[in-house]
Amino acid sequence: MMEDLHRVVITGLGAVTPIGNTVADYLEGLKTANNGVGAISLFDASAHACRFAAEVKDFDPTGFLEAKESKRWDRFSKFGVVAAKQAVADAGLSIEEENSSRIGVIIGSGVGGLLTMETQAHVLNEKGPGRVSPFTVPMMIPNMATGLAAIALGAKGPSSAVATACAAGSNAIGDAFRLLQLGKADVMVCGGAEASITPLGVAGFASAKALSFRNDDPTTASRPFDAERDGFVIGEGSGVLVLETLEHAKNRDATIHAEIVGYGMTCDAHHITAPTPGGVGGAEAIRLALKDGKLEPTSVDYINAHGTSTPANDSNETAAIKNALGERASQIPVSSTKSMTGHLLGGSGGIEAVACVLALQHDMVPPTINYLNPDPQCDLDYVPNMAREHRLSVVLSNSFGFGGHNVCLAFRQMP
């Protein structure tokens, strides 16, 4: 019965992002409109059409990962495990043998270990099959951030990985929410992780004309909802949350950051990359999240948009928000933190969920930076260029992925 569903709260946050490698640094980056975009340093991009990205800087997993083991892990898994350990530490959660079977992990990734795949394909071609690393498959498969996090934490409960492209992180959080509502676990560690700033990743998205090509001014390249937007900026990192049932959190006297109350999920069934014109699928995901959370459009105080900075996404998302929320849409601050972090693909839903919780905690709406030229097709309040103090009770987070996957998550302050 619906009345028997458990309430689910957020007790831990972890973040490794292009604007900060801890939650505190990430929060400061959001408040100060930090720009994480710059020239690619992870490989020689001189021959590429796009030569910039939003990289994680000064990433040092020391203290979180053993050096020997981390050499056998792809970069996306390192991000995911570090963020997961941050989140568990923030939650003050102790995982022991007696409670391990009631604690699970779901970390989504759109691509998985792309760097490993590229590197070992080169080894295969240049040196032959006998020189390919025995760790190739475990390093590149997209469930390994989940698997390694579960191993590192000792979490033996429900475990899976989601690969719904750019909706993967949000799907992972939503799926974890459902498991907790149904009583299948007491705690879930969930979010997204990605590390696709590689030669193939950048070249592939560039060939698809999905990226911005502002090589002369990369810091203004990610400009969601701006009339002169020309594509997204690829980013990397991880955002992970600890969710648990309200009863479990109360029983261990945990600090509660916020409550997750709604999860809407749809598919456009329209095109491999393009959204349905008018944002029909996205609008339905928003409506489902509101219905799931027993919320009205008038309850919504902020929307963290998918906001990729591509022409089709931003105009269709604007239409989706207006379709779902009606007259209320024009009164709600809507911003895209991808303007600062770039687009983390499957990791984006994770760090954006963290941003939503931080927004609720601090009554702060992160900005959409690089917003200079209004687009008649994008006519909402996009919180241009500066963070805004704003009383918040309910916030939504949108994530839309290639293949037509649409997700909306609803969060609210605890009464």
Catalytic residues: 166
β-bridge mates for residue 410, sequence order: 262, 396
CA 137, CA 219: separation in Å to the nearest integer?
36
Q: Are 221 and 233 in contact (CB under 8 A)?
A: yes
Token look-up 């992002």 returns 17
Helices 348-362, 168-181: axis angle to 10 degrees equals 70
CA 237, CA 83: separation in Å to the nearest integer?
9
C-alpha angle 3/169/261, rounded to 5°?
20
Q: Which two tokens stand for residue 259?
A: 């409550």
CA 85, CA 65: separation in Å to the nearest integer?
10
Token look-up 């907790």 returns 180
Closest to 336 in 3D by CA, of 266, 407, 384: 384
CA 343, CA 236: separation in Å to the nearest integer?
7
Token look-up 């006998």 returns 130
**Sequence letter at residue 179:** L
Count of positions (residues) in the chain: 415
Helices 311-325, 280-292: axis angle to 10 degrees equals 40
Burial of 226 (0-12, 13-18, 19+ CB in 10 A): buried
